[in-house]
Amino acid sequence: RIAQCDVQPGYGYLPSGGWRAGSWLPDRLALPLSPVLPQSSHYDLLVTLYDAAGTTALTRRLGELHWEDGALVFVESEPQFTLPPGIESAEARFGEVIALRGYELAQDSGSLQLTLYWQALEEGQADYVRFVHLLDDENGGPLAQTDGAPQNGTYPTGQWVKGEIIADTITLDASDVSAEEVQIAVGFYPVEDPTARLPVYDGEERLLLDGRFLIGLR
């Protein structure tokens, strides 16, 4: 997280308890940025609404900032509907809402970089947590894992557009694992219940065990 601003709308002068239904309220915010931000990076811009108890009501990915001629330029998020060429094919369906269409896998300097290409089968309605487990063998416990919303927490499934392809890159610590030994399990569960994983079906519509799909096997 490079910068953030947590404040009631209108810097406290437009609290949400006083909003009128159907009205629009401009909310201008200033985010302090370091003058030495690396120009090799891009940055995601999110907005989140949460109550006084810290319970999140809404998260939206607005877009990203990238460098152009020495200045940060904002690019609004736009849904993509095509798969990139040259990726590894994979077919899995998670419930009735999400499919896995392919992936890319690379290892470098003790880390494993995995890019998953999800497809929204329905308009986003609920936010699911995506889990990725790096396994020592098919039935073993995870050597490394990450749980969260796709795209580093910036693009919850509830925002997805039907048919959209979502590229989701995850980096896992794999300092003691060779690429030939990698086994990875992926799946989804509701935010409120990690034990209620979405059922998973392979490309032949066979129900898989444990609510997870294995990829990256060598």
141-165 pLDDT tens trace: 788 899 999 998 889 999 999 999 9
Which residue in 160, 215, 155 sits closest to 187, CA to CA?
215
pLDDT over 60 at 139, yes or no: no
Angstrom CA distances, 194 to 55, 131, 148, stand at: 17, 10, 11
pLDDT digits (tens, 9 = 90+) for 46-74: 898 888 888 877 788 898 898 898 888 99
For the segment 109-135, the average pLDDT, to the nearest whole number, is 92
Which residue in 125, 128, 120, 129 sits closest to 99, CA to CA?
120
- Burial class of residue 212, CB neighbours in 10 A (0-12, 13-18, 19+): buried
**pLDDT at site 178:** 61
If you write DSSP's letter for every residue of 100-141 in order, what string do you get?
Answer: EEEEEEEEETTEEEEEEEEEESS---S-EEEEEEEESSTTSP
With beta carbons less than 8 A apart as the criterion, state whether 162 and 123 touch: yes
**pLDDT at site 193:** 94
Q: Which residue has the higher pLDDT, 22 or 136?
A: 22
**pLDDT at site 137:** 63
Single pTM value for the model: 0.80
Distance CA 103, CA 81 (A): 16
